[in-house]
């Protein structure tokens, strides 16, 4: 599945959808972002049930600010509308594959329980 370009208008509906969503915050001038792009794109072709999305931080500065992006590339992983991973840095293929596997293995009932405990 090709990657989706997210905007302020499409971000929320994409990351709150059911399933796994990976979001790469990037910029054209960023060398590590350009190095990570083919890794991200290749993974999107292998994992067709996962949504792979990109946010151009130059084109979407308000969206970047709203998500507190201070370093790029920044990878966020959402599962069933819950942010489960957020770290800056380009990942090599094996680490990205492991991250996707771990997102698949999450017990979302337990994640929701932990979130409820934190907010209580």
Whether the pLDDT of residue 1 is over 80: the answer is no
Query: Is-catalytic flag, 98?
Result: no
* C-beta separation of 44 from 73 below 8 A: no
> Whole-angstrom Cα distance, residue 6 to residue 4?
6
With the CA atoms of 43, 83, 81 and 78 taken in that order, what torsion angle do they form, in degrees rounded to the nearest 10? 0
Partner residues linked to 87 by β-bridges: 75
The pLDDT of residue 28: 96
Question: Of the candidates 63, 71, 67, which has an alpha carbon nearest to the alpha carbon of residue 89?
Answer: 71
Residues in Cβ contact with 36 at an 8 Å cutoff, skipping those fewer than 6 apart: 24, 26, 73, 90, 91
Question: What's the pLDDT tens digit per position in 28-54?
Answer: 999 999 999 999 999 999 999 999 999
The pLDDT of residue 8: 94
- The catalytic position among 20, 33, 53, 90 is 33
- The catalytic position among 20, 30, 39, 96 is 30
Q: Which residues of 29-57 are buried (b: 16+ CB within 10 A; e: fewer)?
A: ebeebeebbebbeebbeebeebbbbbbbb
Question: What's the pLDDT tens digit per position in 53-84?
Answer: 999 999 999 999 999 999 999 999 999 999 99
Residues in Cβ contact with 13 at an 8 Å cutoff, skipping those fewer than 6 apart: none
Residue 112 confidence class, pLDDT cut points 50, 70, 90: confident
Query: Is-catalytic flag, 76?
Result: no
* C-beta separation of 62 from 92 below 8 A: no
């Amino acid at each position: 599945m090709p990657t989706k370009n997210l905007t302020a208008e499409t971000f929320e509906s994409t990351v709150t959808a059911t399933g796994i969503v990976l979001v790469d915050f990037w910029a054209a001038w960023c060398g590590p972002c350009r190095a990570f792009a083919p890794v991200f794109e290749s993974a999107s072709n292998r994992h067709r049930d996962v949504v792979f999305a990109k946010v151009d931080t130059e084109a979407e500065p308000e969206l970047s600010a709203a998500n507190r992006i201070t370093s790029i590339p920044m990878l966020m992983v959402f599962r069933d509308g819950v942010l489960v991973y957020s770290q800056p840095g380009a990942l090599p293929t094996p680490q990205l594959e492991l991250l996707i596997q771990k997102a698949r293995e999450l017990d979302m009932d337990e994640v929701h329980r932990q979130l409820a405990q934190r907010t209580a």
